[in-house]
């Protein structure tokens, strides 16, 4: 799960990690009110969307007066911000973060992520802050330092010193850093983060370290023990069909293509999307109804795909194991009767109770195209897009 | 022959009294698996279909000689369950549970390091040696006993699809292992390949991978140097968008890492026969393994 920068900075404050003074605003008067409390100019206005690269897209602006804060905020709110992470359609800006401007001497990078192959927590730092860290890793890997920590243990002072010296911090900022990094690590562990990133962590003219930006991501599997993070969910950042699907615990992702699909199991669902592409179509979605789906879940999943205007045809691919084919067939028939099928639907079923499932579909009177196996299904999908 | 489990494997089920635990225990018993015990804290002394239930794994092991554990414990408690099994001297732990927090699994993985235990999963369909022993939730009848092919996969139903196509071609399986779709899993492709290399009945291996992480790339490097039998590979997720979790917690392209294209490239470079059309998987394998 992703959250906004201003929310991540709220968490940082809880852990005494310094962030610039400021606050979030939903309209220009509120932005002006916040800016007036900051005690001087320039003031920074930052668009709050769940994507990076905002500066280049015009989502981060400096204001030299309250009038400018008002004008910039007015323009930024409601604009569609396009960055390299939003895709060409961009994101609508619904709120801004208004912050005090700082006199910056150096920009550093500091991040914490889980490393899946070693099962260790890794702290990543670089003197090349303010840039895309993947680009730094690609071009100048020697500028990146990594420290691996066993999650059964804890971050130790030698880990922190290793990073601090690699960053070549001035003596005056050293103590602050050695205090700050363990707190950031504690935030990472206590909140089951999938990512914590400060890019840049700035060194000010006063030799103070401040988190100019803040990015936090959370492990979806661990959200059950962090109800306060769930409060941070911003539905405006999510696709309406994905919100609808999440109500029924369906694993659904909306994509750009023209062929909808419904599958049980994530791996088979991905492979089915690939089959659609090979057949000359483009997948309109990812939908894994899960191993133990009820006919009600199938019905809701099918209804969501049918409501997607760009869908010109649908492929249902089920390998019945725990999810029996007759349960699937019931769900499809229910959804089709309630919503009405307006596009051709190819159904391929195999596995548990397949005969019963096929009978339910053929006796339903619905106009469905049945496929005997995956090869046949692919050919029939190709027929839809031809 | 087979790897990791066979007809002699003595299985205990952690979470045997839950809905899923009961259902799949019965399926395993029907398949012929020796399920000798169940564990549910607080329900010690009861029975499930005549299978004795104990409060702790240690007691179950002491009383029944179980050497393999099948775990259906809910995500919040599953990590604890795995460590309990390890502590009680279980040889093979198969964790079906989906949704275990990543940090919990990282702790488990470090806890198990250096211990004589193999963890399969979590978030996996389990492991089956067709005709002998099923420790998992896969449908038994789609498998064909007797080998000569081993199957290793990060997926569930996609594995069933692949296995079924093998069976329809008359190609049997020695052992099929679902290693799981989470970012941190116990057993790797490489662990399974080391075992299949030593298993004389296994004459070729199928590897089913997907986007996310670099396990397939590392496996390709291993195969080039250390694996002598023919390998067929399949990778799901060529059309998956970057930055989105595709159902499995581990199936995500982060930045440039974890794409299907990179995995297919690495596999081909290492001499793995990559099948790019799932609809023709069985026929593809028949051609490759025909001379195995």
Q: Six-digit token pair at A115?
A: 């490393």
Among A372, A359, A289, smallest CA distance to A323 is for A289
Q: What is the pLDDT of residue A132?
A: 83
Q: What is the pLDDT of residue B291?
A: 53
* Catalytic hit among A70, A99, A197, A299: A197
> A50-98 pLDDT, tens per residue?
988 898 889 999 999 999 999 999 999 999 999 888 888 889 999 999 9
> B24-45 pLDDT, tens per residue?
999 999 999 999 999 999 999 9
B79-B83-B84-B89 Cα dihedral, nearest 10 degrees: 150
Cβ–Cβ below 8 Å for A350 and B249: no
Start-to-end CA span in chain B (Å): 17
Nearest chain A residue to B244 by CA: give it: A253
Cβ–Cβ below 8 Å for B246 and A283: no
State how far the alpha carbon of B53 is from the alpha carbons of A361, B14, B110, in Å: 42, 9, 29
Q: How far apart are CA B146 and CA B1, in angstroms?
A: 8
pLDDT confidence tier of residue A138, bands split at 50, 70 and 90: confident
> B130-143 pLDDT, tens per residue?
999 999 999 999 99
Cβ–Cβ below 8 Å for B247 and A269: yes
Q: How far apart are CA A362 and CA A370, in angstroms?
A: 9
Inform me whether the pLDDT recorded for B22 exceeds 70.
yes
> A248-283 pLDDT, tens per residue?
989 999 999 999 999 999 999 999 999 999 999 999
Is A142 among the residues known to form the active site?
A: no
A249-A252-A254-A255 Cα dihedral, nearest 10 degrees: 170
State how far the alpha carbon of B289 is from the alpha carbons of B147, B148, B152, in Å: 12, 9, 16
Q: What is the pLDDT of residue A136?
A: 86
Q: What are residue B231's DSSP bridge partners? A: B205
Q: How far apart are CA B48 and CA B73, in angstroms?
A: 16
Which chain A residues have a beta carbon less than 8 Å from that of B103? 114, 151, 189, 192, 219, 222
Which chain A residues have a beta carbon less than 8 Å from that of B237? 270-271, 273-274
Q: Six-digit token pair at A274?
A: 């690939």
A-B contacts at Cβ under 8 angstroms? 175
State how far the alpha carbon of B29 is from the alpha carbons of A353, B26, B32, B48, B50, in Å: 20, 5, 5, 12, 11
Cβ–Cβ below 8 Å for A114 and B157: no
Exposure of B49 by Cβ count < 10 A (0-12 exposed, 13-18 middle, 19+ buried)? Answer: exposed
Which chain A residues have a beta carbon less than 8 Å from that of B250? 116
Interchain CB contact of B1 with A (< 8 Å)? no
pLDDT confidence tier of residue A293, bands split at 50, 70 and 90: confident
Nearest-Cα distance to chain B for A370, in Å, is: 15
Q: Give the rounded percent of residues in chain B with a pLDDT score beyond 90.
A: 93
Q: Give the rounded percent of residues in chain A with a pLDDT score beyond 70.
A: 100
Q: Is B114 left (phi over 0), alpha (psi -120 to 50) or beta?
A: left
Interface ipTM? 0.94
Which chain A residues have a beta carbon less than 8 Å from that of B244? 253, 286
Return mean pLDDT, chain A: 94
Inform me whether the pLDDT recorded for A338 exceeds 90.
no
Cβ–Cβ below 8 Å for B101 and A192: yes
Return mean pLDDT, chain B: 96
């Amino acid at each position: 799960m992703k959250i906004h920068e201003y929310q991540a900075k709220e968490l940082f404050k809880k852990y005494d990690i310094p962030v610039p003074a400021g606050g979030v605003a939903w309209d220009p008067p509120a932005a002006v009110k916040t800016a007036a409390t900051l005690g001087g100019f320039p003031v920074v206005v930052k668009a709050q969307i769940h994507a990076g690269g905002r500066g280049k897209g015009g989502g981060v602006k400096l204001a030299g007066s309250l009038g400018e804060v008002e004008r910039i905020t007015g323009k930024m709110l409601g604009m569609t911000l396009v960055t390299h992470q939003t895709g060409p359609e961009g994101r609508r800006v619904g709120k801004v973060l208004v912050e005090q401007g700082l006199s910056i001497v150096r920009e550093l990078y500091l991040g914490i992520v889980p490393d899946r192959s070693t099962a260790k927590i890794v702290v990543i730092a670089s003197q090349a802050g303010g840039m895309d860290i993947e680009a730094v890793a690609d071009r100048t890997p020697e500028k990146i330092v990594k420290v691996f920590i066993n999650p059964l243990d804890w971050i130790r002072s030698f880990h922190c010193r290793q990073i601090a010296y690699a960053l070549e911090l001035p003596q005056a900022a050293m103590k602050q850093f050695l205090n700050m990094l363990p707190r950031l690590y504690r935030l990472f562990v206590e909140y089951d983060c999938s990512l914590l990133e400060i890019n840049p962590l700035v060194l000010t003219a006063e030799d103070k370290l401040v988190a100019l930006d803040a990015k936090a991501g959370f492990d979806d599997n661990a959200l059950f023990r962090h109800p306060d993070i769930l409060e941070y969910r911003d539905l405006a950042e999510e696709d309406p069909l994905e919100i609808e699907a999440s109500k029924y615990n369906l694993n659904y992702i909306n994509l750009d293509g023209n062929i909808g699909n419904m599958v049980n199991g994530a791996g088979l669902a991905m492979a089915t999307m690939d089959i659609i592409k090979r057949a000359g179509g483009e997948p309109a979605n990812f939908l894994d109804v899960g191993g133990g789906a009820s006919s009600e879940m199938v019905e809701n999943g099918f209804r969501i795909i049918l409501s997607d205007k760009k869908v010109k045809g649908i492929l249902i691919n089920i390998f019945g194991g725990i999810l029996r084919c007759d349960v699937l067939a019931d769900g499809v028939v229910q959804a089709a009767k309630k919503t009405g099928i307006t596009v051709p639907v190819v159904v391929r079923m195999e596995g548990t109770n397949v005969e019963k499932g096929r009978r339910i579909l053929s006796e339903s009177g619905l106009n469905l195209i049945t496929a005997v196996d995956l090869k046949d299904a692919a050919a029939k999908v190709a027929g839809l897009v031809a | 022959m087979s790897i990791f489990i066979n007809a002699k494997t003595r299985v205990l089920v952690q979470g045997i009294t839950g809905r899923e635990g009961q259902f799949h225990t019965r399926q395993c018993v029907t398949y012929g698996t020796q399920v000798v015990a169940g564990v549910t804290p607080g329900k010690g002394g009861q029975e499930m279909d005549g299978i004795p239930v104990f409060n702790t794994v240690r007691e179950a092991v002491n009383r029944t000689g179980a050497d393999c554990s099948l775990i259906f414990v809910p995500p919040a408690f599953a990590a604890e369950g795995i460590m309990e099994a390890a502590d009680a001297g279980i040889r093979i732990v198969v964790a079906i549970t989906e949704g275990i927090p990543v940090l919990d699994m990282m702790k488990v993985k470090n806890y198990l390091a250096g211990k004589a235990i193999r963890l399969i999963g979590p978030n996996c369909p389990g492991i089956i040696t067709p005709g002998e022993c099923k420790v998992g939730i896969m449908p038994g009848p789609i498998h064909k006993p007797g080998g000569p092919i081993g199957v290793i996969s990060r997926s569930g139903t996609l594995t069933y699809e692949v296995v079924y196509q093998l069976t329809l071609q008359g190609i049997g399986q020695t052992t099929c292992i679902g290693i799981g779709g989470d970012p941190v899993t116990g057993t790797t492709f490489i662990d399974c390949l080391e075992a299949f290399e030593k298993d004389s009945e296994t004459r070729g291996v199928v590897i089913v991978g997907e986007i996310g992480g670099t396990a397939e790339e590392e496996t390709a490097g291993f195969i080039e140097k250390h694996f002598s039998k023919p390998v067929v590979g399949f990778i799901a997720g060529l059309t998956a968008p970057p930055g989105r979790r595709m159902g499995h917690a581990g199936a995500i392209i982060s930045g440039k890492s974890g794409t299907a294209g990179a995995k297919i490239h690495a596999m081909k470079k290492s001499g793995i026969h990559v099948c790019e059309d799932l609809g023709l998987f069985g026929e593809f394998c028949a051609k490759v393994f025909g001379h195995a």
